Amino acid sequence: MPSLIPHQRTSVRHSVPTARSAPAPVSGAVLAEARTLTTPDGDHCALFSLVLAMRRRAEDHSGYLEEVHFSDEGNRVRIVSRWRSAEELRVFVEQAHDDLLDYRAASGGFPTVERTLWWSPADTEVTAAEADRRTEHLRAYGPGPYAFTLAAPVPRPAEPRVT
């Protein structure tokens, strides 16, 4: 699939998530993802174009449920989203590779991407504070049931519960 990065630079005022129809109801556990993209060279326009392209790609993906938090801190952007499964998120990541290559062509390098995953009951709110706690836990203790990565996934729990 070709890249979705627009050839024209985009301004920061477009940082509000676009409206989309509500995802189909999901029961059980859903995958929560906290993704942080950081650019070492400070090229905010290229980073923001990448974020917009990845957002559009996610919104078109059947496994994507919703974006629940967005934070733009200049050379660092954090997005907290919910997905149907780790497999669906992996497909999204593979499809977004073209967007990363276009980012590199525009900026001369790759952003640093940090991703923290955890299972959350479908009917429970996922907050930015929870994403912070789980990311810190992953950094301190490595992957496990509380926080994990795509490289070290944890199976969906049979009984969703808040941990």
pLDDT tens string 78-129: 999 999 999 999 999 999 999 999 888 888 888 999 999 999 999 999 999 9
> For 39-52, what is each residue's pLDDT tens digit?
877 778 888 899 99
Q: In the block, which residue shows the tokens 């959350």?
A: 120
Domain boundaries, the chain: 29-141
Tokens of 163: 């941990």
Q: Under CATH, what is the fold of the domain 29-141?
A: Alpha-Beta Plaits (3.30.70)
What is the predicted pLDDT for the residue at 75? 87
User: Which segments within the chain are labelled E, that is strand?
Assistant: 29-38, 64-72, 76-83, 112-121
Indicate the pTM of the whole model.
0.82
Span 58-72, average pLDDT: 95
- Residues in the chain, overall count: 163
Q: How far is it, in rounded angstroms, from Cα 52 to Cα 102?
A: 13
3-state DSSP call for residue 37?
strand
Bridge partners (DSSP) of residue 34 are: 80, 116
Which pLDDT does position 161 carry in this prediction?
Answer: 66
